[in-house]
Structure 1
Amino acid sequence: MANLKDIRTRINSVKTTRQVTSAMKMVSAARLKKAQDDISHIRPFTSRLASIIQDLTSAIDEKIPVSYTVSGKGKLTLVLAIASNRGLCGGFNINVVKEVQSLLSGKLRDEYRKGNVLVGVMGKQIEKLFKSRDIKADFIYHELLFSASYESISGLANELMLEFKEGNLKEVILVYNEFVNAAVQAVQVQQYLPFAVPKSDTADELLDYILEPDPVSIIDSLIPKMLQTMLYQVVLESLASEHGARMTSMHKATDNASDLIRDLQLSYNKARQTAITNQIVEITGGAEALKGG
């Protein structure tokens, strides 16, 4: 059995760790609240914008091509993986990496072997994980996560749209964690480009409106805004998921530290009791020896 000093040292060490994990949990909880507010603001906007595009698309001849909705002329597919720059958030990062691996070994296997698949990375942690799995990161966007503003994210969206429009990219696929709640994050694989516009069942409602200049021109102006907003929402979803995952992970770590402290305290009490008992036995034995002498 370990001596009392070793057990005391370990108890103090675990207590220090518990203080750190508890503080990280509270910080993540505060950041999660802000991230949830951001998501609650952007989701209705994105949903309404998508609904408008759907209605307008239903009002035109489906054979009319609209910018960013037809397949790109290029041969390259970009897989953009979005996670975090920091760790200590459970399976948040590794789940994205596993999904990208699944894509590269499944749906995109043939194109990947031909060298027609590029990997973009937003998050230092998944870059490390990709490197350990011999997956090369062709593009790195870590700095966008430090201050994820609409201006910076829409700038990246504009770059992707330009590469797609100029024929350098055939498609863009996003892999990220969607925020469900603080304890649950769902990994999503979303086709970003070409933009898929589902048909709406409410096309007849547009008959009461005069559209100027025409539905196609309006859609052409709205889809770039939609793509900018979509990418911004995806980043916000990922950030909220990160804070939720880290808060949950630190909560579990704090609870585990408390359990370990209780076990160590019990071991300490047993060792102390054993030491006292041994001392009593030694004193009693010495006294009996003196009597016998």
Structure 2
Amino acid sequence: VRSTQKITSAMKMVSASKLRRAQNTIIQFRPYAKKLSEVLYNVFPSQNEETKNPLEEIREAENIVFVVITSNKGLCGGFNNAIIKQSELLLSTTYAQQHKENKVQFVCIGKRGSDYISKKRYPILEIDNQILDDCTFEKSAVIADKLIDAFIAKKIDKVEVIYSKFKSAGNQTVETTQYLPVVFEQATTDKQEIDYIFEPQKEIIYQQMVPQLIKMNLYQYISESIASEHGARMVAMHQATENADELIKDLRLSYNKMRQASITNALIEMVSAAESLKS
């Protein structure tokens, strides 16, 4: 038990170190992604159907893709199970008809999710487990580009991302976010509209920024999930270490009781033997 406790304690410290790095990435990236979405919504509000980006096209959702982000390793509590459960819930409710017609495909990021999806024999479009070991914007952009190309080619009509949003080390929530067609975030501030001067033309900038936002969103979702994984593992290992303490106390108490009973029995036998000799 003590050996196991040392392992869980070491894993807790490793997870805490990785969590700090992942948390810093999120803190630095969240404001940038949020502001870009607001800029696209507020600076380019007058886009009509002709000037809209193809990635905004809303069409009947026949062919669906689920991007399921789990972890490569276990020992992180219910982290992976919660994401898989949410995926199954969507398959049985919102996208039950598409699932029945075998029109829901999966992009699996994380070995735990890919193993489950493979075992269930659901259609898999892409598997990338290595990205979790060293997640960069460039690596996530490769996956995003494939989804963008498939959406523009009308091979898929909608993409949903199922991931764990990081709030704190002890608090992560499973989120389902529409990834494609893209939806912009509206700013909550009531600032006066500004007549910007664009160079090059506004339409050119707009067409270039939309794919960039989509790539950044996927990078953010993966980063959030990585931080959530480390937070969940740190909490799980902390609880395991504390449980080991309780188990050691219980075992020590049981050992002392057995030892005391053994000593008492030995004394009784000695007294009985002495009495027998006297008589």
Q: TM-score range by the shorter chain?
A: over 0.9
1:26 is matched with which residue?
A: 13
1:123 is matched with which residue: 110, 127, 133?
110
- Inter-CA distance 99–73: structure 2 relative to 1 (3 Å threshold): closer
Matching of residues 33-52 of structure 1 within 5 Å: 33-52=20-39
- Higher mean alpha-carbon deviation, 52-61 vs 249-258, is at 52-61
1:54 is matched with which residue?
A: 41
Root-mean-square deviation (Å):
1.9
Q: Per-residue displacement from partner, 1:156-183 (whole Å, max 9, x unpaired)?
A: 1111111111221111110000001000
2:251 is matched with which residue: 240, 244, 264?
264
CA distance in 2, matches of 1:211, 1:248: 49
Gaps of 5+ in 1: 1-13
Q: Per-residue displacement from partner, 1:200-227 (whole Å, max 9, x unpaired)?
A: 57685232x2123333221111111111
1:4 is matched with which residue?
A: none
CA distance in 2, matches of 1:112, 1:41: 38
Contact 2:22 2:227 in 1 (8 A): yes
Q: Cα offset for 1:45?
A: 1.0
TM-score of the aligned structures, taking structure 1 as reference length = 0.89
Matching of residues 42-191 of structure 1 within 5 Å: 42-61=29-48, 64-71=51-58, 75-131=62-118, 133=120, 135-191=122-178
CA distance in 1, matches of 2:278, 2:123: 82
Contact 1:59 1:206 in 2 (8 A): no
Aligned-partner SS, 1:169? coil
Aligned-partner SS, 1:212? coil
2:194 is matched with which residue?
A: 206
CA distance in 1, matches of 2:44, 2:185: 9
Aligned-partner SS, 1:81? strand
Opposite residue 167 of structure 2, the aligned amino acid is V
Contact 1:68 1:161 in 2 (8 A): yes
CA distance in 2, matches of 1:74, 1:273: 72
Q: Percent identity?
A: 35
CA distance in 1, matches of 2:119, 2:2: 33
Q: Per-residue displacement from partner, 1:99-155 (whole Å, max 9, x unpaired)?
A: 100111111110111121101211111223335555454421112112111111111
Contact 2:38 2:184 in 1 (8 A): no
1:11 is matched with which residue?
A: none
Contact 1:74 1:164 in 2 (8 A): no
CA distance in 2, matches of 1:195, 1:287: 92
Matching of residues 236-275 of structure 1 within 5 Å: 236-275=223-262
CA distance in 2, matches of 1:273, 1:93: 46
- Higher mean alpha-carbon deviation, 179-188 vs 65-74, is at 65-74
CA distance in 1, matches of 2:134, 2:60: 33
Aligned-partner SS, 1:110? helix
Contact 2:70 2:109 in 1 (8 A): yes
Contact 1:175 1:188 in 2 (8 A): yes
Opposite residue 174 of structure 1, the aligned amino acid is V
1:5 is matched with which residue?
A: none
CA distance in 2, matches of 1:139, 1:155: 11
